[in-house]
Amino acid sequence: MVQWALVFQKDAEKDLVRVGKTVRVRVIERLEWLVENFDSVNHLPLIERYAGFFKLRIGDWRVIYKIDWKKNIITVCYIDHRSRVYK
């Protein structure tokens, strides 16, 4: 089984600080789950202007990430509420 690394872009780090503590804990736990179960997860690709990105749903919150298949890196790009994340 391949090990995956998790990297946060600066915007995603700011987003994580901005959300409340409860949401932050849920997001971190779900991202840890994603890393541990990467090979068995059905990654949800985005389309049009977000092509190349994937989304992870956490209740009403979304994590937008990229996958570097060659380096085995998951890069978290944005974290926001579903009503704002795609705008």
Is 87 among the domain residues?
no
Range of the domain at 18: 5-80
Tokens 């179960």 belong to residue: 37
Is 86 among the domain residues?
no
Tell me the average pLDDT across 28-37. Answer: 96
Residue 15 φ/ψ, nearest 5 degrees: -60, -40
Q: Please, what's the b/e burial string for 13-24 (b: 16 or more CB within 10 A of its CB; e: otherwise)? A: eebbeebeeebb
Tell me the average pLDDT across 45-63. Answer: 96
pLDDT of residue 1: 67
Strands of the sheet containing 44-45, edge to edge, are: 5-8, 73-81, 61-68, 54-58, 44-45
Give the chain's domain count.
1
Tell me the average pLDDT across 42-58. Answer: 95
- pLDDT over 70 at 25, yes or no: yes
Tell me the average pLDDT across 35-52. Answer: 94
Is 66 among the domain residues?
yes
Is 38 among the domain residues?
yes
Tell me the average pLDDT across 35-41. Answer: 94
Check which CATH number belongs to the domain holding 10 and give it.
3.30.2310.20
Q: Which two tokens stand for residue 56?
A: 């992870």
